[in-house]
Amino acid sequence: MRQVTVAHAHCDLFCGVYDPAQAKIEAMSVMKAAEKYQASDDPVFRGRAVHIKEERAELVKHHLMVLWVDFFTEEHRKEFDNLDDLFWRAIHQAGDAKKSVDPADGQKLVDLIDEIADIFWQTEKAKTSGVYPPS
Amino acid sequence: MRQVTVAHAHCDLFCGVYDPAQAKIEAMSVMKAAEKYQASDDPVFRGRAVHIKEERAELVKHHLMVLWVDFFTEEHRKEFDNLDDLFWRAIHQAGDAKKSVDPADGQKLVDLIDEIADIFWQTEKAKTSGVYPPS
Amino acid sequence: MRQVTVAHAHCDLFCGVYDPAQAKIEAMSVMKAAEKYQASDDPVFRGRAVHIKEERAELVKHHLMVLWVDFFTEEHRKEFDNLDDLFWRAIHQAGDAKKSVDPADGQKLVDLIDEIADIFWQTEKAKTSGVYPPS
Amino acid sequence: MRQVTVAHAHCDLFCGVYDPAQAKIEAMSVMKAAEKYQASDDPVFRGRAVHIKEERAELVKHHLMVLWVDFFTEEHRKEFDNLDDLFWRAIHQAGDAKKSVDPADGQKLVDLIDEIADIFWQTEKAKTSGVYPPS
Amino acid sequence: MRQVTVAHAHCDLFCGVYDPAQAKIEAMSVMKAAEKYQASDDPVFRGRAVHIKEERAELVKHHLMVLWVDFFTEEHRKEFDNLDDLFWRAIHQAGDAKKSVDPADGQKLVDLIDEIADIFWQTEKAKTSGVYPPS
Amino acid sequence: MRQVTVAHAHCDLFCGVYDPAQAKIEAMSVMKAAEKYQASDDPVFRGRAVHIKEERAELVKHHLMVLWVDFFTEEHRKEFDNLDDLFWRAIHQAGDAKKSVDPADGQKLVDLIDEIADIFWQTEKAKTSGVYPPS
């Protein structure tokens, strides 16, 4: 079946634009929503903060999953042998930050994404796929 | 901050209903959509088959990510030490099945989900969280 | 217009993978979310339980609608003459379970889906479309 | 459990804003997308038309399901005894229009929604819930 | 690149079905959800009202953006020189109505959409694109 | 109505995390998807490229709308008097890039977002809201 081979070649081709910036921006929203929850005593505002945090944390999870399986390759996983564990902890932490209203949980999530970004920018592939390299 | 501690306790509480059946049903749709693509020569139908396959494969990815970080715990990951690798390969395969119109790629995805389901049903937690145990 | 005839033939073709398991898994989440709401007195947790229940109930509605019009045919509707009424009550009950925090409303929803599943598995079509037959 | 009773009372309360206009506008998009498909021979444009038609038809299905179980009551279903059948055929037709590129399938969908709208505007409830009464 | 020119021609072609009715129906839901919030003292119901309001307001924003850039043209923007400002204020007001539980914020949103609808129905293009002209 | 006033104050508070990086990353995907479409002659791959481009362009539209009405204020619109026009052209261009398979349309979209980012980073508000300042 000819298409299949072609499609696999496209697989690499399609690794077009990836950047941990997407996960990080949403994670910072998660953290700030928790801060604002803590700073307010209006139940409507607090309800909205929790809800927005929920959505943002879900987006973090999605962006991280995409990085893990679409950007990072078998080879990267051998080179950076804590990669799977780091992603499990980061995506799991996004779940914790979803459940919690403690800004520290959001901060932990941001820190884990920074660790991922650090590895991301060490790869050759990031040079053509990434958009916001560390300055 | 009292809520936070409570929320972490809730974390476990919320591990309510999980079942690899969700990922498997979508993965079977992916495989069947590829079969139907191959069996047809109508461009409209083929376009729709590709598109439906795309959506279903994306749902597989989501359901697998949820199982990986929300159902399976640190302890499970120690007990089943190929778990992270199995999930990376399954979610990555969902991406391959998305790109390909070869039913074999869908079948490979179904097989990987069956491997995950096999581990899932070995856990104690599955007894209270799962809905469709192997008969 | 040639495509149209072809498309109608595809209609049957596309009745690929259906299973009431999808609706049931979400309905059990609805019921468990109500149980957890009742067991907690943390407003953040309760807010999240209500919100998750909302999303799950909406998914139940969607899965049921798909079964009703895409899996079941005119012929099935003649054979099982309470089918329309059963689906109206089940989808309506999903709405009730959305509004309520009483686990009994979730249980009623699960029961109605079990009635639908019972009819589903009596059809010939279920043998090739279904994935989780009653054991 | 006090909330539950209250919630059921709210059920009625929440029957706030409903209008078959929502389904009709999307159904007209479905029909026009098929017309444009037929009028073009550019494969990119045709692919997009099919895809947009798909999305719009899905929205029609959703809007119709909401009208069926949320707007119309048990009493309405007794008064208008073809209501369930009419909705089954309309939602099923949305599926047919999704599969087909024949504008006639879109037109049939619009006609069925007009039949539903006709019943809708005969109800007392429509006077407070509807927004675009027939002029 | 031939397709591009064609695609631009299609641009006009695709301006098929537009109607401010879509934004208005959602905006009326926003307003009614705020009214129901005020009329209730059940925290579950109030939480749901805020959440539904949130979703509806987001849909208003989306429908308004589509009208602004897809229905209205450069020429319309010259002819109705307050158009950009009117849309900024309406979409911004949708955000305000999202944050507020005061029905007056929903009403203000409805009024701004009525102003937009008034301009919409003055255009020639509305005659072929609109579905619910003012009676 | 006390909540309302509070909610308006929260309005400002909620202007937490904004960054044109989100729109730019998606716009670069739009451009690269068009490039890959042009470089391939596999109809399945081309169909997928068009479809992915569609989704990414829709996300660009959403991110830009959020920047326009949620980040930028009345005051900013007075200070940068081409702001409304710039946003109309950028969101409209996202629609053009959706319809076209010419990478130049994606590039034009990226350029317009760069113009917006340039204004964004001139504001005081960006200092606390932005995440990826120009290096």
Contact call for B44 and D50, based on CB within 8 A: yes
Nearest CA in chain D to C86: D84
Mean pLDDT value across chain E: 89
Q: Which amino acid is at C95?
A: G
* Residue-wise burial string across B42-61, b where 16 or more C-beta atoms lie within 10 A, e elsewhere: bebbbbbbbbbbbebbbbbb
pLDDT in tens, C81-109: 999 999 999 999 999 999 999 999 999 99
Nearest CA in chain B to F51: B51
Of B14, B33, B36, the CB nearest to C36: B14
User: Cβ of A15 under 8 Å from any chain C Cβ?
Assistant: no
- The CA distance from A112 to E62, in Å, is 33
Is chain B adjacent to chain F, meaning 3+ CB pairs within 8 angstroms? Answer: yes
Is chain A adjacent to chain B, meaning 3+ CB pairs within 8 angstroms? Answer: yes
The confidence score (pLDDT) of residue B14 equals 58
Confidence grade of residue F14 (pLDDT, cut at 50, 70, 90): low
User: What is the length of chain F?
Assistant: 135
- % of residues, chain F, pLDDT over 90: 87
Is residue F5 pLDDT above 50, yes or no?
no
Is residue C13 pLDDT above 90, yes or no?
no
List the single best residue of E3, E32, E114 to mutate versus D (max D Cβ within 10 A).
Answer: E32
pLDDT in tens, A11-27: 334 548 999 999 999 99
User: What is the length of chain A?
Assistant: 135
Nearest to D73 by CA among D118, D5, D117, D120: D120
Is residue C5 pLDDT above 80, yes or no?
no
**Cα dist. A104→A30, A34, B92, C63 in Å?**
10, 9, 32, 38
**Cα dist. F134→A16, A26, A43, A134, F122 in Å?**
22, 19, 38, 11, 11
Is residue D9 pLDDT above 70, yes or no?
no
Mean pLDDT of C27-39: 96
The confidence score (pLDDT) of residue E14 equals 58
User: Cβ of B101 under 8 Å from any chain F Cβ?
Assistant: yes
Mean pLDDT of F118-130: 96
Of E3, E29, E45, the CB nearest to D42: E3
Of C10, C99, C105, the CB nearest to D10: C99
Q: Residue A12 CB: number of other CB atoms within 10 A? A: 9
F76 to chain A, closest Cα gap in Å: 23
List the single best residue of F5, F37, F45 to mutate versus A (max A Cβ within 10 A).
Answer: F45
Lowest mean pLDDT among B8-17, F75-84, F88-97: B8-17
User: At CA E45, angle to CA E42 and CA E50, rounded to 5?
Assistant: 120
Of F13, F32, F42, the CB nearest to A16: F32
Token output for B24: 């498997």
Contact call for F48 and B47, based on CB within 8 A: no
List the single best residue of A14, A51, A52 to mutate versus F (max F Cβ within 10 A).
Answer: A14
SS (H, E, C) chain D: CHHHHHHHHHHHHCCCCCCCHHHHHHHHHHHHHHHHHHHCCCHHHHHHHHHHHHHHHHHHHHHHHHHHHHHCCHHHHHHCCCHHHHHHHHHHHHHHHHHCCCHHHHHHHHHHHHHHHHHHCCCCHHHHHCCCCCC
Of F4, F69, F105, the CB nearest to E95: F69
Is residue D13 pLDDT above 70, yes or no?
no
CB D115 within 8 A of CB D82: no
Q: Residue F51 CB: number of other CB atoms within 10 A? A: 18
Chain F neighbors of D45, CB-CB under 8 A: 99
Chain D neighbors of F101, CB-CB under 8 A: 44
If contacts are CB pairs under 8 Å, which of residues 32-61 in chain B contact chain D?
Answer: 43-45, 47-48, 51
Is residue C1 pLDDT above 50, yes or no?
no
Of D17, D29, D44, the CB nearest to E3: D44
Q: What ipTM does this complex have? A: 0.89
pLDDT in tens, D71-112: 999 999 999 999 999 999 999 999 999 999 999 999 999 999
The confidence score (pLDDT) of residue E16 equals 81
Task: Report chain E's terminal Cα–Cα distance, integer Å.
Answer: 46
Is residue D52 pLDDT above 70, yes or no?
yes
CB C71 within 8 A of CB C125: yes
Residue numbers of chain E with a pLDDT score lower than 70: 1-15
Contact call for E3 and D28, based on CB within 8 A: no
The confidence score (pLDDT) of residue C16 equals 82
Q: Which chains pack against E, by 3+ Cβ pairs within 8 A?
A: A, C, D, F
The confidence score (pLDDT) of residue C11 equals 36
Q: Residue B12 CB: number of other CB atoms within 10 A? A: 9
pLDDT in tens, A69-119: 999 999 999 999 999 999 999 999 999 999 999 999 999 999 999 999 999
Determine which helix (DSSP H) or strand (DSSP E) holds F64, and give its type and residue range: helix F43-66
Is chain E adjacent to chain A, meaning 3+ CB pairs within 8 angstroms? Answer: yes
The confidence score (pLDDT) of residue D135 equals 81
**Cα dist. B134→B65, B121, C127, C130, F12 in Å?**
21, 8, 17, 15, 54
Token output for A47: 């309800």
The confidence score (pLDDT) of residue C14 equals 58
C48 to chain A, closest Cα gap in Å: 8
List the single best residue of D44, D45, D53, D55 to mutate versus F (max F Cβ within 10 A).
Answer: D44
* Residue-wise burial string across D2-16, b where 16 or more C-beta atoms lie within 10 A, e elsewhere: ebbebbeebbebbbb
Is residue F3 pLDDT above 50, yes or no?
no
Of A10, A92, A100, the CB nearest to B7: A100
Chain E neighbors of F69, CB-CB under 8 A: 61, 88, 91-92, 95
Token output for F70: 């949620």
CB E25 within 8 A of CB E48: no
Residue numbers of chain B with a pLDDT score lower than 70: 1-15
Of E43, E46, E50, the CB nearest to A48: E50
Of B43, B45, B51, the CB nearest to D51: B51
- The CA distance from A108 to A27, in Å, is 10
Is chain F adjacent to chain C, meaning 3+ CB pairs within 8 angstroms? Answer: no
> Helices F43-66 and F21-39, interaxial angle, to 10°?
160
**Cα dist. A29→A23, A33, D48 in Å?**
10, 6, 34
B132 to chain A, closest Cα gap in Å: 25
Task: Return the CA Rg of chain C.
Answer: 17
- The CA distance from D123 to F112, in Å, is 51
Chain D neighbors of E25, CB-CB under 8 A: 17, 19, 21-22, 131
Token output for B117: 């389901």
Is residue D2 pLDDT above 90, yes or no?
no
Chain C neighbors of E47, CB-CB under 8 A: 47, 50-51
**Cα dist. B31→B58, B131, C11, C23, E15 in Å?**
13, 23, 17, 21, 36
SS (H, E, C) chain A: CHHHHHHHHHHHHHCCCCCCHHHHHHHHHHHHHHHHHHHCCCHHHHHHHHHHHHHHHHHHHHHHHHHHHHHCCHHHHHHCCCHHHHHHHHHHHHHHHHHCCCHHHHHHHHHHHHHHHHHHCCCCHHHHHCCCCCC
Q: Which chains pack against F, by 3+ Cβ pairs within 8 A?
A: A, B, D, E
The confidence score (pLDDT) of residue B38 equals 96
Of C21, C32, C42, the CB nearest to B16: C32
Chain E neighbors of C51, CB-CB under 8 A: 47, 51
B71 to chain C, closest Cα gap in Å: 14
Chain E neighbors of A43, CB-CB under 8 A: 43
Chain D neighbors of B40, CB-CB under 8 A: none
Nearest to B88 by CA among A114, F33, A80, A127: A80
The two most distant CA atoms of chain A are separated, in Å, by 62
- Taking the C-alpha atoms of D123, D125, D128 and D131 in order, what is their torsion angle to the nearest 10 degrees? -50
Is residue F46 pLDDT above 60, yes or no?
yes
Please report how many Cα atoms fall inside a 13 Å half-sphere around the Cα of residue E114, on the Cβ side.
9
- The CA distance from E74 to F88, in Å, is 9
**pTM (predicted TM-score):** 0.91
- The CA distance from A94 to A103, in Å, is 12
Please report how many Cα atoms fall inside a 13 Å half-sphere around the Cα of residue E93, on the Cβ side.
23
Contact call for B47 and F47, based on CB within 8 A: yes
